[in-house]
Chains A and B, each alone.
Chain A
Amino acid sequence: MPKLTINGQPVEVPEGTNLIEAAKAIGVEVPHYCYHPSLTIAGQCRLCMVDIEKVPRPQIACNTVAAEGMVVETETARVKDTRRSMMEFHLINHPLDCPVCDQAGECFLQIYYMKHGLYDPRMTDEKVHKPKAVPLGPHVILDAERCILCSRCVRYCDEVTHTGELGIFNRGDHSEIGLFPGKTLENKYSGNVIDICPVGALTDRDFRFKVRVWYLDTAKSICNGCARGCNIEVHTNKHRHHHNEGRRVARLKPRFNADVNTWWICDAGRYGFQWIDDKSRLAQPLHRVGSQGTDVSWDRALEVTVAALRRYAPEEIGFLASPQMSNEDLWVLKRLADQLAVRNLDFRVPPATPGDEDNFLIRADKNPNTRGAVLCGIAPGPGGLDAPGMLRAARENRLKLLWIFHHDLAASSWAEGDVLTALEGAETVIFQGTNANDASARAHIVLPSAAYVESEGTFTNFEGRVQRFRTALPPLGSAWPDWMILSFVGKALGFQDPVFAAERAEQVWNALAAATPLLAGMTYRTIGDTGAMVKA
């Protein structure tokens, strides 16, 4: 572990650490473009120059390994002057089209010009012109004039996805990023090049021109697209509805977690949020009598729900929970089932087609909380029915009340006819979820759920990592978080379990952790931003 001094501060770093990372360890930022901790060192942007004692010229910090006794200065007059020169070089052929550039506001040309540039431009000759608005694939679009040729995207496609779609073509100031002949940037992780592009060269075809980034709010969250539970940020547009056709979720961005997804997320996760602001969202409780469905208040909806639960014997009731639900949701459901002595409890619905999986991030299980559902005890009780058993019993009119959470059974591997006859066979069908589907269209009671970005809670990923997601938005319309709906039901049924009196998801979590040895002692605080493992 070499000890060195940076700007007069001593720091000890692991062997092999470069000077950018060593400086970062003591909160000193060395500006850079081409360096990215996940990629090989390119050393091309020449911005990260620092002074090192006994070395005659400034050196690039990215390719200089911290050594014992090294004395580094990142803010000498010479370093600052070099930075200013590099900023000028980076910008002489740049189109300076910030007013129409989607990167504006999060562009490192802007940020570093303001922090380290502030020179008077001297370039008066015609700039080099290059291709603009070139789609590279389904998600990414290139403006070669804005590109600073840092080669991060090229190295990403070579070293991370190993797909090699991109290259740098031509020479000198005519160099430009482009696709190799016959290639399209459509690997399963292509969106990440947008994030690592420090400038406006690679922008997001889905997001661009939707919202200016400075209008976005940010919440830490967990991708609900598969069992990996990649850490994400949800970027929402709450204040300028006219900018994005009223859609509140503007985009999802990966959030670094060394143990889960590092810097990356897959495209399926990144762009899989359209359902949140989709027209199919359920926003109001509904009560259907015969073929006539009526929007009702929550009071009325709870009243008919409670009445239905009281109408049947426990063995006539089935709960089909969902691994899309949080641990908190599932725990309140589990307590409710226990209090009602309902043993017909399951969450497993096989998908119509097996999910794709790779050896990087993507998991075949497209649910974020299968492990959590198991840990919460969402399984048939003694003599109880599993999911196919419940459907069969409903078809045979033995199951009178079927309460389906979230599942779109049309997307299951079960035969459509079997599903529909089951929905018709049960006297009372309750659908609780976010989006309309076959079940909600036939349900007697529809209870609208908040989407995961509209509530807080935890998911447990396939490795057993419990991870928190925070509230990014208020629930749409009259929707409520699942755990809240269920606790109101429990309370209305007169059950005394304190979990039904919870006012915040955290209280539900604490009850779950107290009741579950594998989660003992785990709190929202200890789970933090990067998650905590369930006990082995």
Chain B
Amino acid sequence: MSKQIGSYFLFLVNLIYFYLLILILSLFNSLLSQIGIYLLLPALFLVVPNHLNKLLRWSLVIFNGLILDYHCNLPLGFSIFFLIFVHLTVENQIKLSMVKNFYDNRIILIIVNLIFFLFLFVLSKIDEFISVQWYSFKFFAALMLSSATLLFLMPLHYSIINSLNQKFTDHLNDQSYIGK
């Protein structure tokens, strides 16, 4: 029973953490937009604690998709389905939990970020909702900077999620991975 309550608390704390994270990212983007840079880091929102049960993990991914759509002005539902799709893929096919090297995790998440950019690019070409004029230089600059930010931000992000894990759960593994 106490374990269940602990996992609910962990879920709630993670909700707040991800919400604060997107707020900080929005403010940071507001600052960076003065020089024409926009950081898009959906991969950050895929790192959910593996101590949560499946239902709570999915709920957290859906919530993250929702706030990502809202703050990045994306079509409502785009990020949710992307994150669910990636979560399903890494959970059942790539078996990310088998990846023991921390650096491998970062590479996978950078690839996820890259795929998100490509999906967005394709969507902008086929959907009128975000019909945009992509300037290739800006597109690649945003992609490169987002990947670089992800590379440097990921250790801090992992350590925060791990420390949250440690606070609210009794039995801990050494690291927090995406999925189970």
| A and B found bound together | no
Binding site for B on A (CB under 8 A): none
Binding site for A on B (CB under 8 A): none
